[in-house]
Chain A
């Protein structure tokens, strides 16, 4: 038991869960226990979106130093707009809408990787530039639209099962799958190996290019899923719907204990970090903090958590 606890304490993701728990406890202590469950339910709902894109970002960051996907917000917007426009409030067109949205997202992933591989542009700049293009596409394509999602999509995005959002259960399934992929598949191992040392991975017979390609497409695809669900959840797509997810996706990955240097991913940490970040804002709101104070404290908390979790150990 003690050994197990010790082992648990050494898991890098434990910090994020501990932090989330602490923030939640402080909040309900302040409200005198009122709405404790409701806060958790809301946290699960909202954190779900961050978790989806966080998982994609995690895979990208794990493929090695310099790899990061800055096009996630634009892709969320694009897929939301595409989904809404193709579905056109018609339940019968739900499936084709989802397919179109995810197809558009995948194309973004392909485009990103093409920039990185063919033009040898550093990923951070490549995905930044492509995000400009994607955003323009989304703006131009979805100009002035305000289309509601088909009812089943909206229902799915907001449905609950004994207080637990159904959507978060679906994302839990996705998370478990990604965990399995990382531990037990050739692709997953390749991601980890390439992230540690791409040269050694190549010499060990792994396909570095294909691994990164699949990863960028996967990240875009996750952003696509987020876009579709988010437009169902918030009853329509908006051009700025992806904005907050740029910083959030990176922050969850790192606070969750994934190595920024690559080669080490952490799926549970994404959950802990996403919940923590949402609960933190909730706590500050309950305390009636002003926008400025909220921003400062959010920032300090991010720094505090990364300091507490410790940096990369020296080789």
Chain B
């Protein structure tokens, strides 16, 4: 019914190491630069993606990946350099409308769906061809077929309003939408942290689909902080640092360690053996809800992990503890959001004010906030968290994402809270920052603080004294540090689905 990518199907699969082997189906960037004021985000990037190739792209926050992707997708126009695609070379006039017509699609970290529209209507947004009589049925069929293909058993209806879907399903809908084709060829799909809200099963389905799609000749750029994902899914890996390409080699030539080394941060294996010490008194205890499950308990000085598939009740548990609703909480708590933009950062404020907002009560003297004490507090925590800024009076948005997240940690840790609740706070944070934060969490736990830490990354559980596995709401398993292995967590998360 629609012009499919039949031409592409016949394109032989090939992957090129460098810039030779150009075909019309290749996208090619030459000397692309992008500056924001004095800051050069991209300092001359050459990049070639061959047809049918999956290119892994890694780098720290601030390395220029996001800027590069925004340039590629036409949201930003480069300050210098050319972009060649489909036999045409663009020096200027490269914009979202052009990328759309050239078959370049992008799945961004922030969801690009309209929450007030249905899944099918969102498909219409990206397909100018879906119009006229019967467009709704065609849109529904298009997106349903693609969802079935990528995520069998997805449980999403094309008539569902996005706002009513869980975040994982929204991401699935968005990914599927990026791969739908109506008129014109699909050349390149950019996946920016596509699995960040997906659970293990759907993430695996996606990685399998990437193989299938590249075999049809579509090019894919995959950005992920999960190096395992990058190493297994990519044909070639490009490493970026400080707005430049610092490595560009076949994936097979990389190992986890060499990849991390190329990014400029050493990979350290953190394994804590047994429980360190006898923990203190119980600070938090949550009895299971009537529908079953195990109770949760957190003692002074403990680091408690909440795990399981994404969105299975972990955040709800954190909020229950935060509100003290149906939970016995014996000390003040502070919340560190994972979704910085919607739950964490105050955009109009300085870094300093963002840090001290949780401590304002303590900073009061005679009813008024002591500005000098406030400045001292933010300075102290800027140093402690190594937030990279010249001045805490700068606006919070002058920081890179990772440093913004550090400021949110500083907000919680600078407060009087004995219990720190963390809602998957390392989402999209670079490895260097992560290591610094892990060290801080350990140090603070030694001092007697309690951390309750929801994480989607199983590796992070190695920092925990105990972990609770959630499935469909309740806690289904309690794992002590000694039992904490990836297999155990997966086993508990998937017990029901095991065939």
Residues of A at the B interface (CB closer than 8 Å) are 180, 183-186, 189, 192-193, 196-197, 199-201, 203-206, 259, 263-264, 315
Contacts and interface: CB of A to CB of B under 8 A. Distances in A.
B121 to A, nearest CB: 25
Task: List 4 A-B pairs, minimum CB-CB distance, nearest first.
Answer: A203-B335, A184-B368, A196-B346, A184-B369
Given A193-B346, A200-B344, A200-B345, 11 more contacts: A183-B369, A189-B357, A189-B360, A189-B369, A192-B346, A196-B348, A197-B342, A203-B343, A206-B357, A263-B347, A264-B348
Interface residues of B, number: 25
B346 A263 contact: yes
B244 interface: no
Contacts of A185: 367-369
Interface in B336-363: 337, 342-349, 353, 357-358, 360-361
Contacts of A201: 346, 357
A206 B322 CA distance: 12
Interface string B401-414: 00000000001000
A199 B337 CA distance: 10
15 contacts: A184-B371, A186-B364, A189-B357, A192-B348, A193-B357, A196-B347, A200-B342, A200-B344, A201-B346, A204-B357, A204-B358, A204-B411, A206-B357, A315-B347, A315-B397
A203 B349 CA distance: 16
B334 interface: yes
Contacts of A204: 335, 357-358, 411
A263 B348 contact: yes
Contacts of B367: 185
Contacts of B371: 184
B335 A186 contact: no
B334 A205 contact: yes
A199 B411 contact: no
- Majority secondary structure, A binding face: helix
Interface of B: 322, 334-335, 337, 342-349, 353, 357-358, 360-361, 364, 367-369, 371, 397, 411, 415
B358 to A, nearest CB: 5
A192 B353 CA distance: 11
Contacts of B334: 205
B380 to A, nearest CB: 18
B349 A196 contact: yes
Contacts of A315: 347, 397
A199 B343 contact: yes
A180 B371 CA distance: 12
A67 to B, nearest CB: 16
A197 B335 contact: no
Contact of A197 (B346, B360, B364): B346
Given A184-B368, A186-B360, A203 B342 contact: no
B411 to A, nearest CB: 7
A187 to B, nearest CB: 10
Contact of A203 (B344, B348, B368): B344
A186 B411 CA distance: 16
A200 B337 contact: yes
A7 to B, nearest CB: 13
Nearest to B421: A203
Contacts of B342: 197, 199-200
A205 B358 contact: yes
Contacts of B337: 200, 203
Contacts of B335: 203-205
A196 B342 CA distance: 10
Nearest to B357: A204
Contacts of A184: 368-369, 371
A186 B369 contact: yes
A171 B258 CA distance: 67
A184 B374 CA distance: 11
A197 B397 CA distance: 14
Contacts of B411: 204
A17 to B, nearest CB: 22
